[in-house]
Amino acid sequence: MPAKTILVVDDEKHIRMLYKEELEAEGYAVVTSDGQEPIMEVIAREQPNLVILDIKLAPDVSGLDLLQQIRSHNHDLPVILSTAYDSFQHDLKSIAADYYVVKSVDQEELKNKVALALAKTE
């Protein structure tokens, strides 16, 4: 069975690299984006099984807006919002996400949410 592909969208290179390393160690294929390329183009090209999306990408790019774009085209693609701020959980746009992960040095929560989200798609 081919590895599940995870798309990590984050403007911080060290976060993209950390998530890539951690998730590849779990047996996933990981592709990354800094959020500058149109999200639907990246998804069309990479065909991910799951998207991990940073909420704060660039001054003019919100992960919540990208989440809305993903949902308007693909209702079934699991999306995990990854953020340094848990206050976003109260933003109504964020309810379209499957899960939340607050960024931390401990990647266990992220790995658990990835496993849960992917299990739901099988």
Over residues 8-54, the pLDDT tens digits come to 999 999 999 999 999 999 999 999 999 999 999 999 999 999 999 99
How does DSSP assign the chain, residue by residue? -PPPEEEEE-S-HHHHHHHHHHHHHTT-EEEEE-S-S-HHHHHHHH--SEEEEESEEETTEEHHHHHHHHHHH-SSS-EEEEES-GGGGG-GGGGGSSEEEE--S--HHHHHHHHHHHHHH-
Who has greater pLDDT, 60 or 88?
A: 60
Domains and CATH numbers, the chain: 5-121 (3.40.50.2300)
The whole-model pTM stands at: 0.89
Is 56 a residue whose pLDDT tops 90? no
pLDDT at 75: 87
pLDDT at 21: 96
